[in-house]
A = this chain, B = another copy of it.
Amino acid sequence: MITPKRPAGFNEFLPADQLAFNALIAIIRMSYEQHGFTPIETPALELASVLHAKEGGESAKQGYRFTKGDSDLALRFDLTVPLARYVAEHYHELAFPFRRYQIQDVWRAEKPQAGRYRQFCQCDIDIIGSTSVAADADVLITMSRTYKALGLSTAVLHISNRKIISGILEARKLSKHSTEIMRQMDKLDKIGVAGLRKNLAERGLKESDISLLASLAAIAGTISEVTREMEKLDVSHPKLAEGLDELAATASLLDAAGLKKHDYTFNLGMMRGFDYYTGVVFEAMLSDKPEAGAVGSGGRYDNLVGYYRSEPLAGVGASIGLSRLFSAIHGELADGPSSPSQALVVVFNEKLLPFCFSVAQKLQSAGLNVEVYPSADKAGKQLGYADKTGIPFALLCGEDEEKKKSVTIKDMQTGDQKTLKLTEAARYLKKQL
């Protein structure tokens, strides 16, 4: 005997959770398509030289990489690098702006933690080949609507624009420290203003610059609040102005699309990663559950396909880490059924099986999910199965029912029974469900 177990750090769901998870994916898919994003899927395996182009094809620490025959292969670790490869490979077959969504698993050989697994599901959207602020707004609108569709009414988009910090650092001649400064600012939540000041001072920044950055990090609110606060800062730079203009234009489009004040906020201390993004950046937080961290994020980049094409291709995108989100909200989901069936046909004896299958067929044809218990076990055992799997109705199909072309419908919750003509059963069940 071999012990049946998964590799460490790999999760899988029992059926009730899988059904709940799939329901979330269906909502995300519908929402993404409602906003005109088209699906693609890429192979799990890529050439390591292509996937790890950024590191010059060197082995990535967190990657699953191996050789098979002559091929140096690796499992994708995100959906962005495969998108870049896809767009570059199929460039002449795609229509631009290219609006794609991709809902697939990715693999990272990280140390497993609660809610973090080595294989997890990402749900990405990107608009490639547009530099317009309308594309920024479009991605933000799609994300906000998607959270609402998922029932996450407390989701708030925290939005900033990398041009603001870039402009400030250029104005103050601090660009060469930009990565380190952004890293410290991004830690503001953890280290506080005093910590930020101390850390920036340790890195040799002047007091006037430190004050400016600490003030910037605290600026948050509506577009008019943020604009007003920015005017108080003693700094100006064309890039900074451009960043603020883009945020204002974005805000007007979010409002036009019906987003409410509590759906988004500007948060200029939020940096969202340290390279890659060049314009708008955002992360989504649940206002009633900040401890869950960001439940999605994204931003604008100047060039998606730098490693694969000489012509740059700008874009803007976002990602929902669905596995992590599911872990975060799982406690609040009611324990659902572990079967998609809406009714179980109970089999009293083997001779009644043809009648049982004909009953199931009639109801299935009417669009109901119906299963036939596959043998004439004791009725109690069959009802116990319906109970355990959460099937809401049992259909008792005995000899009387067969004779009268009827079916006795038992509500598993209340225990109530009702005998109906077969022709009426589907309508009745649909009304009850």
Contacts and interface: CB of A to CB of B under 8 A. Distances in A.
Interface stretch (A36-44, A172-180, A266-274, A286-294): A36-44
B253 A353 contact: yes
A357 B89 contact: no
B347 A134 contact: yes
10 contacts: A4-B305, A10-B43, A15-B38, A22-B39, A34-B368, A36-B340, A45-B119, A64-B73, A134-B347, A256-B357
Contact of A371 (B35, B50, B309, B354): B35
A39 B64 contact: no
A273 to B, nearest CB: 23
Given A50-B2, A308-B2, A354-B255, A43 B374 contact: no
Copies in the complex: 2
A53 interface: yes
A327 interface: no
Interface stretch (A97-105, A185-193, A227-235): A97-105
| Residue from A8, A75, A353 with most neighbouring chain B CB atoms (10 Å) | A353
Contact of A1 (B41, B145, B308): B308
Given A18-B40, A35-B364, 20 more contacts: A2-B53, A2-B307, A4-B85, A7-B43, A12-B43, A13-B40, A14-B90, A14-B93, A19-B38, A33-B340, A38-B339, A38-B340, A45-B107, A97-B373, A99-B371, A132-B374, A134-B347, A145-B364, A253-B354, A255-B354
Interface stretch (A135-143, A199-207, A218-226): A135-143
Contacts of A215: none
A46 B90 CA distance: 32
A364 B127 CA distance: 18
A385 interface: yes
A107 B1 contact: no
Given A7-B73, A45-B119, A357 B141 contact: yes
A287 to B, nearest CB: 23
Contacts of A10: 43, 45
Interface string A26-69: 00000001111111111111110110010001000000101111
A349 to B, nearest CB: 12
A369 interface: yes
A4 to B, nearest CB: 4
